[in-house]
Each structure stands twice: as structure tokens, then as C-alpha cells.
Amino acid sequence: MKNLNNNQEIKGVSNFKILINQLFDNYLKEASAVFALLAILIFFTIVRVNFFSPRNLLLILEASALTGIVALGQFIVMLVGGIDLSIGSIIGLSGIISAFLMNRGFSTSIALLGGLAVGVVFGIFNGLVVTKLKIVDFIVTLGSLFIAHGIILGMTRGYSIYEGMNPSFLAIGNSKFFGLSTGLIFFIIVTIISQIILSRTIFGRQLYATGGNKTAAKLMGVSVDRLKVIAYIISGLLASCVGILIVGRLQSGQPAAGESFLFETILAVVLGGASLAGGEGTIVGTFIGAVFLSAVFNGLTTSGFPYYYQEIVKGVLFLIAIAFSSVINMRRNKL
């Protein structure tokens, strides 16, 4: 009887240690992103005067907004174990469709709906092909990238659309409220709403369950395929929103508007603690990852480093984030 009690105590202590380790791992990535952001801010404050000024910090937040919005959609897709490579072309095509409709005399509301429809259509297409035809996400969304890019070139022949822009539409990307751009306000609002949904709703728990263990999620009655389609729709819709905001900022429809977003959004999500395998990460972590990237690029640019240093830093940061994630996963598998 005494041995049985001892065994139960040992088992209880062991389970408690496993629980503590899992909780520690869950928050370690996010905490690391916070510390990394603080370290970057301190470093560039030492290197460059006025880096930590309120004005420059606001510039960093403003610069992170568009990348962050798309990164939130990318995170939702990665959370269910997928990846969306089509977001850059969706951004570009959404902007071109909106600009094209205005150029043809359509109203602001029609131009908005046309731009948003691009993201929804491609999101549905990506989600259905992945779930119904069982084709790898990477292949499907890469195909969508080329399809959208081809449509852009067919509509524009590579030229920007400047004429016929509605002032009310352009105001969407150019307006400021309380000193903050519409892009930054939208980024903050979407972050808050997404955090509430993922942390406090059944839908959010199902997303985590789907990415963590698809088989187990199905056994619990979760409609895995439906959740994946919804994830791709969210990603496409947020990419379209950014495409519309860019038209407002640039006062035109630019064929190459979304080309720089793909890698940066994936990097922001990974830096924020998400796993490429799915089931891990937080909205707050993605927000921090986007701001961290913006702070790094701001510091490099204002300190006089050439542009190609940013590309090198992107690659190094990505490798570090992946290596860190792999170490955490190996540690968890040993428990």
C-alpha cells in the first residue's frame, strides 16, 4: 500500500512537471519575441540618437501595420497547419481590380466590394482545392500566386492605373484619426478582435486543435475541412484589405504592390512564436513579430545601412526563429 502511494506521488509530481514545462514552452516563444523587440529598441537607441523618440516609435508602428494585417491572416492559416503563398498576388490584384473599376467609372462602394471579392474568391479556391482534392497547401497557393499575377499583367500590361481614382476611396488609405493612419488603426482593431476570437471562443479552440492534431480534432467532431477553408478566406480577405489600403496610399493601382509581403509576413508569424507545423502561436506574438521586423528595418535604414543588409538580416532572423522553434519542439517531444 505504501509503495502504491509512493508511485502515485511520483506520478503526480511527474505530471505536474510535464504540465509546467508545457506551459513554459507555450509562453517562451512569445516572451522571447518581446525580449528580442526590447533588445532591438535598446540597441538602436544606443547606435542612433532619437531612435526611441515617440515620433520614431510611431513611425515603426505605422510601418508595421500593413505587413502585420496580412501576417494575422497568414497566422490563422499556419495555425491549422497550412501556408498561404498567394497573399502577395492577392494584394496586388485586389488593388488593381479596385483601381480598374474606378477607372471605368464605378462608385467607391463597388470598387471596395470588387477588391474584397478577390480575397474571398481566392480564399475559397485555395481552401476547397486543399481540402477536397487533398493537394499540398504549398502547391495550391503557389498556383494561385501565378494565376493572380497573370491576371494582373493581363489587365495592366505592367502599367499602373492612375486615372479615375475616387477621392473617397483614396481617403481610406490616406486618412488619419487622432494622429494614427487608417492602416494602423485597422491593424490594432483586427489584432484585438482576432485575439478575443482565438482565446475565448470554441472556434478559436477548434483552430488550435486542428493544427495540433488533425486526427484527434476529427474524432472530437471538429469539421477540419471547413475550418481550413475559413482560414484561407480570412487570409485572402485581410490581404485584399491591404491591397485597398495601398491604393489609397499610393493614389493608384500598382501591379507590383504586393510582391514584398510574402516572406515578411511568414517571418513575422514565425518570429512571433508560431510553428510551421501548425497548432502553436498567438495573435499577440504575430503582432510583436511584425513590430519587431519594422523596428529592425527602421533601425538599419536610419543608421545608414544599405538596403541589401535588410535582405541578409531577414534570412538570418528566419533561420534563428526556425532553429529556436525546432529546439522547443524537440524539448517538448522528450517530455
Determine contact, residues 241/69, Cβ cutoff 8 Å: yes
Conformation bin of residue 106: beta by default, left when phi > 0, alpha when psi is -120 to 50? beta
Higher confidence at residue 249 or residue 34? 249
Residue 180: φ, ψ to 5°: -110, 140
- State the angle between helix axes of 283-302 and 261-271 in degrees (0 to 180), rounded to the nearest 10: 120
Q: Classify residue 161: in a domain, yes or no.
A: yes
How far apart CA 109 and CA 115 sit, in angstroms, is: 10
Number of domains in the chain: 1
pLDDT of residue 213: 84
The average confidence (pLDDT) of the chain is 86
pLDDT in tens, 87-96: 999 999 999 9
Q: Classify residue 18: in a domain, yes or no.
A: no
pTM (predicted TM-score): 0.88
Q: What is the dihedral of CA 51, 56, 58, 60, to 10 degrees?
A: -70
CA angle 53, 59, 61 (to 5 degrees): 105
pLDDT in tens, 141-155: 999 999 999 999 999
For the chain, give me the number of helices (H) and strands (E)? 13, 2
Sequence letter at residue 271: L
Q: pLDDT tier at 9 (50, 70, 90 boundaries)?
A: very low
How far apart CA 317 and CA 335 sit, in angstroms, is: 28
Question: Does residue 8 surpass a pLDDT of 70?
Answer: no
Q: Classify residue 9: in a domain, yes or no.
A: no
Q: Classify residue 333: in a domain, yes or no.
A: no
Q: Classify residue 334: in a domain, yes or no.
A: no
End-to-end CA distance of the chain: 28
Range of the domain at 62: 29-327
Q: pLDDT tier at 10 (50, 70, 90 boundaries)?
A: very low
pLDDT in tens, 158-181: 899 999 999 999 999 888 888 899
Span 267-275, average pLDDT: 88
Three-class DSSP category at 181: strand
Q: Classify residue 12: in a domain, yes or no.
A: no
Q: Classify residue 1: in a domain, yes or no.
A: no
Look at strands 180-181 and 176-177 and give their pairing.
antiparallel
Three-class DSSP category at 177: strand
Question: Does residue 105 surpass a pLDDT of 60?
Answer: yes
Q: Percentage of residues in the chain with pLDDT exceeding 70?
A: 88
Determine contact, residues 127/233, Cβ cutoff 8 Å: yes
Q: pLDDT tier at 331 (50, 70, 90 boundaries)?
A: low
Conformation bin of residue 203: beta by default, left when phi > 0, alpha when psi is -120 to 50? alpha
Question: Does residue 12 surpass a pLDDT of 50?
Answer: no
Find the CATH number of the domain harbouring 188. 1.10.3470
Q: Classify residue 193: in a domain, yes or no.
A: yes
